[in-house]
Chains A and B, each alone.
Chain A
Amino acid sequence: MYAQAFFVAVFGLAAIGFGVVVFRTSSMVRSALALLFSQTAVGCMFLAMQTEFLGVLQIMMMATEMSIMAIFMVMFMMDPGGLGGMEMTHQKRFSISAGVVAGGAAIAVALLADWGPVTVEAPDAEMQTRALGIELLGRSMLIFETAGITILTAMIAATAVAIPVYTLSGNGGTETKETSE
């Protein structure tokens, strides 16, 4: 029990620490990889809370997701290396107070609410994987399918938005239309 509390606390601190680094560093790749390690620490917290499948899934998904984030940061930021010391924030005071109020309110609820009896024993990992699979393809199948269709729709929509506008021109319509002003 104390070991579990210790690991949850350590990984929680790591997640928060890396999460803060995301907005403190000026190097964009560092920022993206700090977010990656923050998410990995969240995955490790799941493992510490004996939720093996979700923990491993989180660790796996975030590695690729945040690496892709990194290349987009390098592509779209004015100063990806962070050597120019560019200012990239606005409405600072408002955002800090909003963050503090939102986080503080959530902490207050966490501390003040009566959570009632807490389960000590978690189901063992193999049972969990099995039960989650049965849940996915049983009662929650419609939700699961909807999530799948949503991803498919998002993929198609994102690709459609992102590909350049083609116009028919002399060389077989492969010329990109210039849309900038």
Chain B
Amino acid sequence: MNFVIVLLALLGSVWLLAVVEGWTTTGRLRPAAPLLSGLAHLGRESIVPRTPDRVFFETAPVLLLIVAVLGAAVLPLAPTLVIADLATGALFINAALAYVLVALIMAGWGPNGAYAMIGGWRFLGQLIAYAMLIVMPITAVAMRAESLVTTVIVGSQDGLWNIVYQPLGFVLFFIAAMALAFRAPFDLPTAPGELGGGVDAEYTGVRLGVLRLARLTLVITLASATTVFYLGGWHGPLLPPWAWSLIKTLAVAVSMLLAGRYLPRIREADLMRWCWTLGIPLALLNIIVVGLLVLVVP
């Protein structure tokens, strides 16, 4: 039962996000547009490039979708509304999202295209930049909650949300989450302006439809993770818990979209330099500060 509800919530959020994305790019609010373009993808011809690695080509979009849904499976919408309340939830979401990289390498290598391949390997470099900035802020969150269980993590933010308790961790995690979801300004693997679509370039028809759905689901999963780890999850006055979770998730997802619209795409070397020379020391500082706070403040 929980499974169906969470899946429906995920789909609903993806639809809303797609509508908002259309609204910000075209300036018109068309609620039916995502459904129509999804149907259009089904109708279009789905071209397979010459001499592809067929296994990778077919698996990649599906793997990306599965990974995004698996990541959402450990994130609670309400105290009992969670698919799998694992004892290692905060680690499991890292494990699931590590396979985004695998899916993108498959999508890059599979279609036997130069742009796609460059896009796929670029994401490997991007992973080396953002990976530590996903894991280390989550470590600080787990330190405060004294648990890896996601529901306990939300419970630990009852009085004070983590965004106030460890703002540095929030900023780092938010940026790293955008890099993980390869949204602009970190859309190096797709880079419409310079790589002609990158990993998306060779996909058409149904497969492109699945790939786009997977990307939006990934954004929602990461926004939901930000909500659970930093924005107090289901906590909030008046409204029921699930409503607060959804509102916060959508707000984070939309702010990710907006941040991408007003920032230029970053170069791979710059991303690497900033993440390792500035991001990781700051993340270590965050861990130390949170450790001191946990020890000093009862």
Q: List 25 A-B contacts (CB under 8 A).
A: A29-B56, A29-B105, A29-B109, A33-B56, A52-B86, A53-B88, A53-B91, A56-B91, A57-B91, A57-B95, A59-B95, A60-B91, A63-B95, A64-B131, A67-B102, A67-B124, A67-B127, A70-B105, A71-B121, A125-B86, A125-B87, A126-B149, A128-B87, A129-B88, A129-B148
Measured CB to CB, the closest approach of chain A to B49, in angstroms, equals 14
What are the residues of chain A within 8 A of B95 when measuring CB–CB? Answer: 56-57, 59-60, 63
| B63-109 interface with A by 8 A CB criterion | 86-88, 91-92, 94-95, 98-99, 101-102, 105-106, 109
Q: Would you call the interface of chain B mostly helix, strand, loop, or mixed? A: helix
Please tell me if A36 contacts chain B, counting CB pairs below 8 Å: yes
Please tell me if B53 contacts chain A, counting CB pairs below 8 Å: yes
Measured CB to CB, the closest approach of chain A to B15, in angstroms, equals 29
Complex: A77 Cα to B252 Cα, angstroms: 44
Complex: A125 Cα to B121 Cα, angstroms: 36
Do residues A63 and B149 form an inter-chain contact, with CB atoms below 8 A?
Answer: no
Measured CB to CB, the closest approach of chain A to B138, in angstroms, equals 12
Do residues B98 and A129 form an inter-chain contact, with CB atoms below 8 A?
Answer: no
Residues of A that sit less than 8 Å from B by CB: 27, 29-30, 33, 36, 52-53, 56-57, 59-60, 63-64, 67-68, 70-71, 74, 83, 124-126, 128-129
- Knowing A52-B88, A53-B91, A126-B149 touch, does A64 contact B121 (C-beta < 8 A)? no
The chain B residue with its CB closest to the CB of A62 is: B98
What are the residues of chain B within 8 A of A83 when measuring CB–CB? Answer: 51
The chain A residue with its CB closest to the CB of B112 is: A81
Do residues B102 and A63 form an inter-chain contact, with CB atoms below 8 A?
Answer: yes
The chain B residue with its CB closest to the CB of A82 is: B53
Do residues A29 and B53 form an inter-chain contact, with CB atoms below 8 A?
Answer: yes
Complex: A57 Cα to B87 Cα, angstroms: 13
Do residues A68 and B124 form an inter-chain contact, with CB atoms below 8 A?
Answer: yes
Do residues A52 and B102 form an inter-chain contact, with CB atoms below 8 A?
Answer: no
The chain A residue with its CB closest to the CB of B91 is: A56
The chain A residue with its CB closest to the CB of B131 is: A64
Complex: A36 Cα to B95 Cα, angstroms: 13
Do residues B99 and A63 form an inter-chain contact, with CB atoms below 8 A?
Answer: yes
Q: A33-B56, A67-B105 are in contact. List 11 more A-B contacts (CB 8 A).
A: A30-B55, A30-B56, A36-B102, A56-B92, A57-B91, A60-B91, A60-B94, A60-B98, A63-B98, A63-B101, A129-B148
The chain B residue with its CB closest to the CB of A54 is: B88
The chain B residue with its CB closest to the CB of A80 is: B109
Measured CB to CB, the closest approach of chain B to A125, in angstroms, equals 4
The chain B residue with its CB closest to the CB of A75 is: B121
What are the residues of chain A within 8 A of B86 when measuring CB–CB? Answer: 52, 56, 125
What are the residues of chain B within 8 A of A56 when measuring CB–CB? Answer: 86, 88, 91-92, 95
What are the residues of chain B within 8 A of A52 when measuring CB–CB? Answer: 86-88
* The one of B53, B88, B124 that contacts A71, using a Cβ cutoff of 8 Å: B124
- Knowing A67-B105, A67-B124 touch, does A126 contact B91 (C-beta < 8 A)? no
Measured CB to CB, the closest approach of chain B to A169, in angstroms, equals 23
The interface bits of chain B over 116-155 (1 if a CB of A lies within 8 angstroms of the residue's CB, else 0) are 0000010010010001000000000000000111000000
Complex: A124 Cα to B85 Cα, angstroms: 13
Complex: A63 Cα to B99 Cα, angstroms: 6
- Knowing A29-B53, A63-B101, A64-B101 touch, does A126 contact B106 (C-beta < 8 A)? no
Do residues A129 and B99 form an inter-chain contact, with CB atoms below 8 A?
Answer: no
The chain B residue with its CB closest to the CB of A60 is: B95
Name the residue among B55, B98, B121, B131 with the largest chain A CB count within 10 angstroms.
B98
- Knowing A29-B109, A60-B94, A129-B148 touch, does A67 contact B88 (C-beta < 8 A)? no
Complex: A13 Cα to B110 Cα, angstroms: 26
- Knowing A63-B95, A63-B99, A67-B124 touch, does A33 contact B88 (C-beta < 8 A)? no
